[in-house]
Chains A and B, each alone.
Chain A
Amino acid sequence: MSEKEKTLELIDLKKYYPIKKGVLQKVVGHVKAVDGVSFHINKGETFGLVGESGCGKSTIGKTIIRLTPPTAGQALYKGTDIFSLDKKSLRTLRPHVQMIFQDPYSSLNPKMPVGEIIGEAVREHGIVSDKDYREYVMNIMKICGLRPYHIDRYPHEFSGGQRQRICIARSIALNPDLVIADEPVSALDVSIQAQIINLMKDIQQRNGISYLFISHDLSVVEYISDVVGVMYLGSLVELAPKKELFKHPAHPYTQALLSAVPVPDPDVKMNRVLLQGDIPSPVNPPSGCKFHTRCPYAKPICSEVTPEFKEHAPGHKCACHLYNDGSWV
């Protein structure tokens, strides 16, 4: 595993948002949106990041491309730390790390024709000569399943799926090595979702791109990812190769997430692991294991000691006290 080339390696990434109060804007506490997350993405592979809203998964994406500054930690892109780059070298790095946003409606400038949206940055970074520019954009549009006459139309004429194709075209036009896809299909219809996922997979096979695929939908992540990380309240609770994770979900939270997905089969009455209560606020996360307030197997130790995030099987890491006594199967 370690022989593979790592496109991105995150080391102990932290992102705290200060809470300010009073006239003097005194910092009274922190929202620990991301609290010490480490993982790496291999070249040409997809890392799926799953979690519920507010668990910090989108923050990770935005922090990696420096749309928000990190509090601590490192993000090594092919060995260089993205967080320590100055403005100029950051700009030269930009085309290599791209992002696809969740909402295809607000992520396209309504006042710009499609060709311009896709090609703008291509021209900026001088990826192709001016002569080949239009042809290049047309070609990218073709790859992404858009028609040539779309090039002069405006975003409002497109459906959600087509818009997301435009977003994908915009990001791959820069020949990136890593694409951070922040819930790219959750705003789309089921049949369109499948199209977009297939498109993303095709492009991956073609260009050898790595994806960081952020989603709340386990079934989508399961389909596209090679490695999956499950997040809860700012930290990873489980990380494993896809097949391993879905066959042997270890952490109670992962189990609950898996069983909560409704199955389109009236005969399957699943034994739901129904979680009680809501996700606690990240301002005051519970002590010990953050999940113990909702965990069906919670033991006294869970509320006192933070479980270690350790490797139980090759490539399968989990942070839970249940397996400390060697009960791993």
Chain B
Amino acid sequence: MDYKEDDELLKKENAAEEFVYDEEAAEDYEANQVFMTPGQMVFRRFMRNRLAVVGICAIVFMFLFCFVGPFFSPYSETELFYKTDIDEHPDAELIYYRTKAVQRGDMKFTVYYDMHTGEECDTVPTNIILDTRAKPSKDHILGTTEMGQDMFTRLMYGGRISLMLGFVVVFVELLIGVTMGGIAGYYGGKVDMIIMRMVEIFQSIPFIPLMLIISSLLISFKVSPRDKIYYTMFIMGVIYWAGVARMVRGSVLSVREQEYMQAAEATGIRTSRKIFKHMIPNIMPIIIVMATMDLGGVILMESTMSYLGIGVGAPYASWGNMVSSVNNAIVMRNCPYLWIPPGICILITVMAFNFIGDGLRDAFDPKMKR
């Protein structure tokens, strides 16, 4: 065959020189292999998890709905709507507003004041009243709330608060938790002992009673509803750091035992570099997963608190206090449009965050699969 000639040719060529390992050929071959960066690998594994992708879609949708949606809404968050036939006087006004009749010129007006803060909400002629708990219609897609505001618009604004609160609380808890957990795990010994006892103390504080007390304190100090939201975020973050710290400490301890940390120690690099370049990138996956899972938890906690009336209060909307409008069986039966939409929003968001968290955990740690 042909290759016999080839063979002889090659033999002649190679006769004089010794065998040389063809590094270049091997190199070309290696350089042309398909490879993936670590980020790509995580992304690929994440995208393979269908539930997680659904979760991402749901969260993106919620964000668009809450942060972009309001720009397309013709109404504002606290705008009140009225109706002109005055057969009955709704109870809601007595619960949510203090009213005062005033005479301006030859017309009689009713001034609405907020029950809690005493701020003036609106002044309307006395012959019209608030349009509360209106059924869904062309003007109000999901009807109106029991305070006479547009349900759909408030749902969007409520989502803003709920989501923002979730992110801020998680940020605060991570800030404190990662620092404290990192210090405890890295230095060990007495520092570890003290921080871990603190964690235990924080974890044994009953959260809801504490919030009840704080909430009533805030009211008695006449803190405005807006500031109350900020206080709530901060307090939740401060109380939730303990769980994060415990988790971070555990993973720092396991990373610290890895040989590459010992190698870093042996090369004599600075402690700060060891922590920020070697330690943190390797516990990052755990932190990210934990943060995602906690987002759902915080949003759920916020709705619990708002439902109990100690979280976000009127006039601001949050999904939690919107659900709390169902405070008796009659509303529940007759006005499902008041509580089902915010309830569904909470359900979808919390579930989506949990799906994403699960997906991320599997993506970061392929050994956990199946």
Contacts and interface: CB of A to CB of B under 8 A. Distances in A.
Determine if chain A interacts with chain B: yes
Interface of A: 62, 65, 67, 90-95, 98-99, 101-103, 106-112, 120-121, 124-125, 147, 149, 153-154, 156-157, 167, 170-171, 174
Interface in B258-274: 258-260, 262-270, 273
A269 B38 CA distance: 50
A234 B237 CA distance: 51
Closest 8 CB pairs between A and B?
A: A94-B268, A121-B267, A107-B259, A111-B281, A109-B260, A106-B259, A124-B269, A101-B259
Nearest to A100: B263
Given A109-B264, A111-B38, A111-B281, 20 more contacts: A62-B262, A92-B268, A99-B262, A102-B259, A106-B260, A107-B260, A107-B263, A109-B260, A109-B277, A109-B281, A112-B278, A112-B281, A121-B267, A124-B267, A124-B270, A125-B268, A147-B30, A156-B38, A170-B263, A174-B267
B282 interface: yes
B266 A99 contact: yes
Interface in B307-333: none
A111 B262 contact: no
A109 B262 CA distance: 11
Given A109-B282, A112-B277, A120 B269 contact: yes
A110 B284 CA distance: 12
Interface string B117-150: 0000000000000000000000000000000000
Contacts of B278: 109, 112
Given A108-B260, A109-B278, A95 B38 contact: no
Contacts of A91: 268
B35 interface: yes
B275 to A, nearest CB: 13
A121 B269 CA distance: 6
B37 interface: yes
B259 A67 contact: no
Contacts of B30: 147
Interface in B281-317: 281-282, 284
The CB with the most chain A CB atoms within 10 A, among B262, B268, B273, is that of B268
B259 A103 contact: yes
B262 A95 contact: no
Nearest to A147: B27
Interface string B25-64: 0010011000101100000000000000000000000000
A94 B266 contact: yes
Nearest to A125: B268
A67 B282 contact: no
B172 to A, nearest CB: 26
Contacts of B269: 120-121, 124
Nearest to B282: A111
B253 to A, nearest CB: 15
A99 B265 CA distance: 10
A110 B42 CA distance: 13
Contacts of A95: 267-268
B267 A94 contact: yes
Q: How large is the interface on B (under 10, 10 to 19, 20 to 34, 35 or more residues)?
A: 20 to 34
Chain B interface main SS type = helix
A121 B273 CA distance: 10
B22 to A, nearest CB: 14
A98 B267 contact: yes
A107 B31 CA distance: 24
A147 B26 CA distance: 11
Given A103-B259, A147-B27, A67 B277 contact: no
A121 B259 contact: no
Interface string B233-273: 00000000000000000000000001110111111111001
Contacts of B37: 154
Nearest to B30: A147
Nearest to B255: A109
B173 to A, nearest CB: 24
12 contacts: A67-B266, A90-B268, A95-B267, A106-B260, A109-B277, A109-B282, A110-B282, A111-B281, A111-B282, A112-B277, A112-B278, A171-B267
Given A91-B268, A95-B267, A154 B38 contact: yes
A112 B284 CA distance: 13
Contacts of B264: 109, 120
Nearest to B39: A154
B268 A124 contact: yes
B263 A101 contact: yes
A103 B262 CA distance: 12
Given A109-B278, A111-B38, A112-B277, A67 B260 contact: no
Given A111-B281, A147-B27, A67 B38 contact: no
Contacts of A101: 259, 262-263
A157 B282 CA distance: 17
B322 to A, nearest CB: 43
Contact of A98 (B31, B35, B266, B273): B266
Contacts of A124: 267-270, 273
A90 B266 CA distance: 10
A142 to B, nearest CB: 11
Nearest to A90: B268
A159 to B, nearest CB: 10
B82 to A, nearest CB: 61
A125 B269 CA distance: 8
Nearest to B279: A109
A40 B29 CA distance: 46
Given A124-B273, A147-B27, A154-B38, A67 B268 contact: no
A171 B278 CA distance: 17
Contacts of B31: 149
A223 to B, nearest CB: 22
Contacts of B263: 99, 101, 107-108, 167, 170
Contacts of A157: 35
Contacts of A121: 267-269
A108 B27 CA distance: 23
B158 to A, nearest CB: 40
B317 to A, nearest CB: 42
